[in-house]
Amino acid sequence: MDDTKQTPPKYPQVAGALEIDPWLTPYASVLADRRASAQNWLDTFQENEGGILKFADSYKTYGLQAHPDKSITYKEWAPNAKSASLVGEFNKWDPDSHVMTKDPYGNFLITILPNSSNEYAIPHDSLVKIRLNLPNGSTVYRLPAWITRATQAPATETIDCNVYQARFWNPPQPYQFKHKRPQAHKDLRIYECHVGISTPDPKIGSYQEFTKNVLPLIRDLGYNAIQLMAIMEHAYYASFGYQITNFFAVSSRYGTPEDLKELIDVAHSYGIVVFLDVVHSHASKNTADGLNAFDGSEYQYFHGDGKGNHSLWDSKLFNYGKYEVLRFLLSNIKFYLDVYKFDGFRFDGVTSMLYLHHGIGAGGAFSGDYNEYLGSKSCIDTEALTYLMLANELIHSAGKAEDRNFVSIAEDVSGYPTLCLPAADGGVDFDYRLSMAIPDMWIKMLKEQKDDDWDMGKITHTLTNRRYKEKCIAYCESHDQALVGDKTLAFWLMDAEMYTNMSVLSPLTPVIDRGLALHKMIRLITHALGGEAYLNFEGNEFGHPEWLDFPRVGNGESFKYARRQFNLIKDDLLRYKYLWRFDAAMQKLEEKFKWLASDSWTYVSLKHEGDKVIVFERNGLLFIFNFHPAESYADYRVGVEASGTYKIILNSDRAEEFGGHDRIDEEKSKFFTTDLPWNERKNHIQVYIPSRTVLVLALENDPRL
């Protein structure tokens, strides 16, 4: 009888991570310590507040709260202030009429009883501020930190119109959600968008316009998730929403909070989940309408001295080690889940958060050496890392409480190991990370190389180079590539002729022909090989002919490029429709065959440098890409694992549908396997594959057809 006992792992809390990646073993204690830091906070929240979910419910007690008995309470954390009062239109800005009391924890509180008509004493949508008296004898006025509505001030001789004002949002008929939240899909196809630019007109678009005009387009394309950018209130429009002033207020420039709720509700009715681009990596340095120096100190929400300033972004950096800062940020996440019914978050600037050097300069040149992340000189900001673990714990715990799979996405370029492993395995617990190397690869190739020099091995390596068991979101271009100063794929391919030769009435030039063909191929190979989810920035699906540039001093405050010309896809005389239709075909094909599902399998059988051909199988489909600019191949031998008869289910060379050349007669194209191994697959078929064309094949008897 074998009575030997298996030795339990020394660090059981990270055993899963070590099993997945044994190269992490020398750093087991580091990983365990980092998880322990998060657990210590969770234990503290449990002891003090009844758990992280209740802790994050603080948005229900802090800030201005309207109660059924028509009373209003206001609670604000401002420990440095000596005294405070609530002022506004409701009391004619009288600093003596509503003086607040201060508790031992630095919170100021007040209850405002109903008025003589037994109505709320502060009218809905009226202006309010908190007046703080500081230890040095000075007085400052601030927008309540937890305010849920902030609007642009009217320009006067004494008020800058770029300064925002706080309003007490308490509508008599708040929006009632009508539709149940859908579950987040295991094969996410994400449409990244910005409400303000989502109109062909040179203006700021509204939530209502987006709901009416853009959501149906997203649904028709076949995307099952949208990622809303620039929603949290930011005083400077041209910051693309990355200089947040009011974290609990949604941007008023697009409409009201009730309008946004309706947008999300309608998206849910289409089966589309909605993610918020959450910016907790930094904050605006504004004092008049932001958090900076809120209570007169520089260290209330942020680090003091130089550590509290981001030199590149000219913004403030949170002190994630403070109890009340964690309350504010974690409650901010719960607020958007509960009040607006968002289904998840894309965390901006995770690389900046993770490292004390913020990914700037030499410190941001990541080689992949584990010492950069886990060694003694790794420069990890452990407090920020702990916050990210807590945020993910909150998101997933809130999901479990509602039987929902709320999603978290990390924007990280560093490749931090375990970022997307579950907490139970010792990971940071993000669901996905953005594969930021993929768009960089495409842009670099289009900028620096001729088609003949494209490296098939490099393409496949970049698309498949991701950590085992850590899910990635593949994309060719996001908002980063659309912004002025860069170029979208369509612009790199066709900018010389996009304004002159995109009409079907003009001859198909070599530039436009190449651009259309490669734009389709680049998107599909990224979609099918690059990750476990796919993302597209609005307009790029049809090759939008302009970059994105917000109104600012440098362009004369012009809205000319702060828009998306969806009208182009509706013009049957323009070739943009071909790119649009191909995008819809991609999304709907994935919806049917689920190649993005994390349990799908992939095998790359060919990456031929001379022929410029890439062949791979994923989840039962056969993908054949011929990137050669001139050579078409007849009877090209392609290895395939499963035997049977294959048929074409997607062909980028279709003329009427996708703007190709119709070089394949699909009705006569059936491919019978030969029982002869090829490229390490059990069988092979022989296929005609035209130049600059992608074919997707499926078994004729596939039940998913």
Q: How far apart are CA 581 and CA 572, in angstroms?
A: 12
The CA dihedral of 632, 634, 635, 637, to the nearest 10 degrees, is: -20
**Diameter of the chain measured on Cα atoms:** 92
Q: How far apart are CA 361 and CA 335, in angstroms?
A: 36
What are the structure tokens assigned to 193, written together? Answer: 């968008």
Catalytic residue status for 411: yes
Q: How far apart are CA 486 and CA 492, in angstroms?
A: 9
Angle at 284 between CA 140 and CA 171, to 5 degrees: 75
The answer to whether the beta carbons of residues 180 and 267 sit under 8 Å apart is: no
Q: How far apart are CA 496 and CA 509, in angstroms?
A: 11
E strand segments, 287-446: 309-310, 315-316, 344-347, 407-410, 432-434
- Residues 6 or more apart whose CB falls under 8 angstroms from that of 25 comprise 18
Catalytic option among 21, 192, 277, 411: 411
Q: How far apart are CA 20 and CA 17, in angstroms?
A: 5
Helix 382-401 to helix 28-49 angle, to the nearest 10 degrees? 60
DSSP letters along 75-141, please?
Answer: EEE-TT-SEEEEEEGGGTT-TTTSBPEE-TTSEEEEEE---TTSS-SS-TTEEEEEEEE-TTS-EEE
What are the structure tokens assigned to 99, written together? Answer: 């003086």
The full length of the chain comes to 705
Catalytic option among 187, 348, 372, 429: 348
Strands 670-672 and 683-689: unpaired
Phi, psi of 510 (to 5 degrees): -60, -35
Q: How far apart are CA 497 and CA 507, in angstroms?
A: 12
Catalytic residue status for 497: no
Q: How far apart are CA 313 and CA 310, in angstroms?
A: 6
- Residues 6 or more apart whose CB falls under 8 angstroms from that of 177 comprise 261, 265, 268, 341
Phi, psi of 618 (to 5 degrees): -145, 120
Q: How far apart are CA 173 and CA 127, in angstroms?
A: 19
Q: How far apart are CA 551 and CA 124, in angstroms?
A: 31
The answer to whether the beta carbons of residues 130 and 86 sit under 8 Å apart is: yes
User: What is the set of active-site residues?
Assistant: 348, 411
